[in-house]
Amino acid sequence: MKIYRQFYAPEPEGRDDEPSTKIVQRYPGIAVCSGSHEELTEIIGQVNQAKDAFAAAIKAVGNPDQRFEAVHSRFPMMITLQATRYLKVLPCNTTRISFAWQKPIASKSDHDKLNRQSLLEKLTQERRYPPVNIAMQLDGDIWAAQIEEEIALVEALPENARLRYRRVLREVPQANWVYETFDAEQGEIIELRGNGKVNLPLLTTRMPDKLKGLQSYDRQKAEAKHRRPVAKGKILLPRLGIELIPQ
């Protein structure tokens, strides 16, 4: 249960290390619980509803800086993502589970949302409310000049400019499971499959017949597997990692 309640940044190991609320921790695995599948599903459903309510309360607070202050003044060093991420109950008759390293799929909708107008709105908001790290590191006049330069760069772009975040997608633990269910049309038991990222141990009421654990991460093998040509873009705003995609 300690893993499921680990909402706060761990104490730094070295004297010069600083704890960070930006680094999340993942715990791939399974936890076999007592009781029936129905009872477990109901309890976890209530827990996830509480997580939704907490996340909604945070989002209701003004701008990002105000949200950060509201959360960390009450819960110092809380990693919000760890506190709000869902718990997952496996299907009732899960027979096989395997864990592997996989890269998350970049959502195309994320790229569609990043256009000239939305980027201008983001920069305008940052001009009014400088991010916490900027406010701590840069003098007000220096920041004002930098943000005005960034806004001017974006304003000079054509309306149909294609923009994207230059994101480095790192492989994360993922689970693949097989479970049995009764198909009324066929009149027999069939096997179905599911998968998903594993941030916390998956919950179940029975040990699967077959379980394949997560292997040690092989960086060279992973890079060779995912190496593919990507259209190169021109870095537009290095601070935000935003690039202009060639038309």
Please state the domain extents for the chain.
Answer: 30-106+167-236, 116-160
Do the Cβ atoms of 143 and 131 come closer than 8 Å? no
Helix (H) or strand (E) run with residue 31 in it: strand 30-32
Quick check: 113 and 162 in contact, CB under 8 A? Answer: no
pLDDT digits 0-9 by tens, 111-164: 445 889 999 999 998 888 877 667 656 777 888 899 999 999 999 999 988 888
What does the pLDDT read at residue 112? 47
Most confidently predicted of 15-19, 169-173, 224-228: 169-173
**CA proximity to 10, closest of 79, 85, 75, 87:** 79
Q: Which residues contact 11 (CB under 8 A, 6 or more apart)?
A: 19
CATH architecture type of domain 30-106+167-236:
3-Layer(bba) Sandwich (3.50)
Q: Could you write out the DSSP letters of every residue in 144-189? A: HHHHHHHHHHHHTS-TT--EEE---PPPEEEEEEEEEEEETTTTEE
Read off the pLDDT of each residue in 37-51 and give the average, rounded to a whole number.
95
Helix (H, G, I), strand (E, B) or coil at 192: strand
pTM: 0.65
For residue 78, which phi and psi values (nearest 5 degrees)? -75, 135
